[in-house]
Amino acid sequence: MLLITGVFAGAQDIPIRKSEVRFISSTVNVEETTDNILNLEIGFSKKIFYSVDIQDAMAAAHVIILKIVQKTGISIQLTTSVYENNQTIIADLKAKKLDLIAVLSEDLPELIEQHVVDPFLIEVEEGDIYENYILCTRKDRPGSGLKALSDKALTLSVWVESDLPTYWLDLLLNEKHLAPVHSFFSQIDRIKRPEQAIMRVFFRKSDACLVPKQTFLVLKEMNPQIAREMTIVEESPDFINGVICLNKSLTELDRRSLIEEKLVNMKRETGGEQMMDLFRIHDFLPYDTMYVHDTFEVIKQYQALKR
């Protein structure tokens, strides 16, 4: 028997937090005992879903995860939830209501400090392990360098709801003794599609854009005119987007091993590649602190700047 129910904010039967999306499924037969059932609770930070519809993406992800685990022959009670912020993630991790959580790297330091997660895998996008952000403008704009963009319009666009680009840009402006981001630019528009942000600048509808470098390189290759007429003003350090973490309290060896095995082999699982495409993930790498060094350093410096 397969039962899938979706629960959204405002539903009466299960109290959930504002803006949370939760799906619950069961492949359990009524005669089965609880000893034979795997209860699996997976969470996602809301920030991951910035450029896609949360409910549609969650519904698809839920069904794919269920099918992957079902192939083991284990009866499963699966819950997948979207979390609004770190506070609710930490609360459910401490309460052992979460086995696995996918977050942006910028939210990881707080989770590590709270001793609630074991970072397990780094999400890798196609083309590079790292995500670099660039500030770019037209070559024919008056002046050169970052200072020339003072009091100009900026369009910001990244694939996830990350604050890292503005953290980095704020630090860069401070280093050059310029005003903070929201004072330096006359206007900041945040849109969901990086390629549209680039085209805004290309067609002179915005003075500059802050976008993923990889998107800019792809557009340059597709349209050589962009390469001729646009230029990179500044480029960020190496950042990591997503990290998958296990609950630090997840000590049941069989349960932990099953989760780890399915994650590591996700790309080779039936439906696994579809799941990864949904979240724009090309592959996974085992977590190592060297990958998040620049991310953590920027967060540390930004927090010191704002104290």
pLDDT higher at 231 or 129: 231
* Residue 15 in this model has a pLDDT that exceeds 50: no
The whole-number pLDDT of residue 33 equals 45
pLDDT higher at 168 or 282: 168
- Domains annotated for the chain, with CATH where assigned, are 3-125+241-289 (3.40.190.10), 133-235 (3.40.190.10)
- Residue range 57-83, pLDDT digits in tens: 777 777 777 777 666 677 778 888 889
Instruction: Determine what percent of the chain is predicted with pLDDT higher than 90.
Output: 53
* Residue 172 in this model has a pLDDT that exceeds 80: yes
Top mean-pLDDT range of 6-10, 184-188, 243-247: 184-188
Question: pLDDT band for position 48 (50/70/90)?
Answer: confident
- Residue range 1-11, pLDDT digits in tens: 233 334 333 22
Mean predicted lDDT score pLDDT of the chain: 83
The whole-number pLDDT of residue 273 equals 73
Question: pLDDT band for position 28 (50/70/90)?
Answer: very low
Q: What is the model's pTM?
A: 0.81
The whole-number pLDDT of residue 18 equals 36
- Show the 3-state SS of the chain: CCEEEEEECCCCCCCCCCCCEEEEEECCCCCCCHHHEEEEEEEEEHHHHCCCCHHHHHHHHHHHHHHHHHCCCCEEEEEEEEECCHHHHHHHHHCCCCCEEEEEHHHHHHHHHCCCEEEEEEEEECCECCECEEEEEECCCCCCCHHHHCCCEEEECCCCCCCHHHHHHHHHHHHCCCCCHHHHCCEEEECCCHHHHHHHHHCCCCCEEEEEHHHHHHHHHHCHHHHHHEEEEEECCCECCEEEEEECCCCCHHHHHHHHHHHHCHHHCCCHHHHHHHCCCCEEEECCHHHHHHHHHHHHHHHHHHC
Mean of pLDDT values over 16-20: 42
* Residue 35 in this model has a pLDDT that exceeds 60: no
Question: pLDDT band for position 270 (50/70/90)?
Answer: low
